[in-house]
Amino acid sequence: MSAARRALVLGGATGLVGQSLTRILREAGFDVLAASRADFNPASKDAVERAVDAFRPDFICNTVAYTAVDLAESEPDQAAALNKALPAMLGRLCRDKGVGLIHYSTDFVFDGKKNAPYLETDQPNPRSVYGKTKLAGERALLELALGNLYILRTAWLFGPGKNNFVSKILGLAKERPALNVVHDQRGSPTYSADLARYTLALIEAASPGLYHVVNSGRASWCELTAEAVAVAGLDCRVEAITTDKYPLPAKRPAYSVLDTAKFTAATGVTPRPWVQALRDYVYRDLNLGLE
Ligand SMILES: NC(=O)c1ccc[n+]([C@@H]2O[C@H](COP(=O)([O-])OP(=O)(O)OC[C@H]3O[C@@H](n4cnc5c(N)ncnc54)[C@H](OP(=O)(O)O)[C@@H]3O)[C@@H](O)[C@H]2O)c1
């Protein structure tokens, strides 16, 4: 019997993507070391190198990021340290140790001026510090020309194990008779468990590269909210507002739907619709809507 493949999942113990990825890789027979900041500092080269030398992973999966999109506007150095310097350090380490690297990025690398799904070949033009630092992380990795590098741009995540847009909105919908939600930003809502399955599909296809990986379909934040409230069976009115009625520090793209044709060509997998995935999340993970 061949030895189990090993993956070091940075952020695997606490992150939204990290927790789903850890579960899906373990179910697929991987030996996974799910690391949190309590285990070691993922931004410390020495600490990560010690973990790599001890665990000898086939892959490092980097789910660690500075994901506070609005706070990043006032903390650009902290955002750059996690979103650019950390992946660059991991890339060099993976190159030196002959380890594969799976890294996540975001739809917020785009400016939203397109009105058809974004391809991997479309020119990024981020509008926020978060988007700029994530793009800088991608570029730092691509410059290294690693043989076994996967960069997965994903978007609008919901899933178990950590608060997210859908869990927060459902919490509010339980308490309030009505919610006003932005309707003039459209994107690709995505279930973290599906993202983890699709990550595994790319690993199995042994097809490194830059990919857009999201559930299919598109929605505004308002449409996502209305669907989640309906699926959960909550009695809350959902009203559409425009972005200027809900000003936030970071600018977001008005349109950031991602095209997944390259992912499907590599894996043979067509991502399922976000509406279907949302039902799994609400019914199975949150245990809502079925009573
Ligand atoms: N969430 C989304 O909607 C979304 C959309 C597009 C792209 N992405 C990308 O997907 C990837 C995963 O995102 P996610 O939503 O899973 O992120 P997340 O839940 O916010 O998790 C990030 C992980 O990074 C860790 N972390 C953050 N700051 C740290 C620090 N200073 N030192 C050590 N660890 C730190 C967190 O640990 P703690 O739990 O201890 O804080 C957590 O494990 C990221 O690359 C993100 O840019 C996410």
CATH code for position 82: 3.40.50.720
Ligand 1 centre distance from Cα of residue 63 (Å): 6
Residue 101 three-state SS: strand
Q: Please give the pLDDT value at position 1.
A: 56
CA distance 137 to 131: 10
In a domain, 236, yes or no: no
In which residue are the tokens 């609400």 written? Answer: 282
Residue whose CA lies nearest to ligand 1 atom number 21? 15
Closest CA to 243 of 221, 228, 258: 221
Q: Give the ligand 1 atom nearest the CA of 156.
A: 3
In a domain, 243, yes or no: no
Ligand 1 lining (C-beta closer than 6 Å): 11, 14-18, 36-37, 42, 63-65, 67, 82, 104, 106, 134, 154-157, 162
Q: Please give the pLDDT value at position 3.
A: 84
**How many Cβ atoms are within 10 Å of 248's Cβ, its own excluded?**
12
**Sequence-distant contacts of 121-127: CB under 8 A, at least 24 apart:** 127/250, 127/251, 127/252, 127/253
In a domain, 248, yes or no: no
Ligand 1 centre distance from Cα of residue 42 (Å): 12
Closest CA to 153 of 83, 86, 211: 211
Residue whose CA lies nearest to ligand 1 atom number 23? 64
How many domains does the chain divide into?
A: 1
Ligand 1 centre distance from Cα of residue 67 (Å): 5
Q: Which two tokens stand for residue 249?
A: 């520090």
Low-confidence ranges of the chain (pLDDT < 70): 1, 291
Give strand pairing partners of 182.
241
**Which sign does the torsion angle of CA 40, 43, 44, 49 carry?**
positive
* Torsion on CA atoms 208, 63, 137, 49, rounded to nearest 10: -90
The residue segments making up the domain with residue 90 are 6-162+190-216+257-272
Q: Please give the pLDDT value at position 278.
A: 98
- Looking only at the bridges linking them, the beta strands covering 209-212 and 149-154 are parallel
pLDDT digits (tens, 9 = 90+) for 116-139: 999 999 999 999 999 999 999 999
Give strand pairing partners of 101.
60, 149
Ligand 1 centre distance from Cα of residue 190 (Å): 15
In a domain, 93, yes or no: yes
Q: Give the ligand 1 atom nearest the CA of 62.
A: 45
Q: Please give the pLDDT value at position 291.
A: 66
Burial (CB < 10 A; 0-12, 13-18, 19+), residue 113, is: exposed
Q: Which two tokens stand for residue 130?
A: 């978060």
For residue 130, indicate whether it is catalytic.
Answer: yes
**Which member of 118, 130, 191, 255 is catalytic?**
130
Ligand 1, pocket-test mutation among 8, 9, 10, 17, most atoms within 8 A of CB: 17
**Which sign does the torsion angle of CA 120, 124, 130, 133 carry?**
positive
Q: Please give the pLDDT value at position 290.
A: 75
Closest CA to 145 of 196, 81, 208: 208
Q: Give the ligand 1 atom nearest the CA of 18.
A: 16
Ligand 1 centre distance from Cα of residue 17 (Å): 8
Residue whose CA lies nearest to ligand 1 atom number 12? 63
Ligand 1 centre distance from Cα of residue 107 (Å): 15
In a domain, 141, yes or no: yes
In a domain, 142, yes or no: yes
Q: Under a CB-based contact definition with an 8 Å cutoff, are residues 137 and 84 in contact?
A: yes
Ligand 1, pocket-test mutation among 40, 67, 278, most atoms within 8 A of CB: 67
In a domain, 66, yes or no: yes
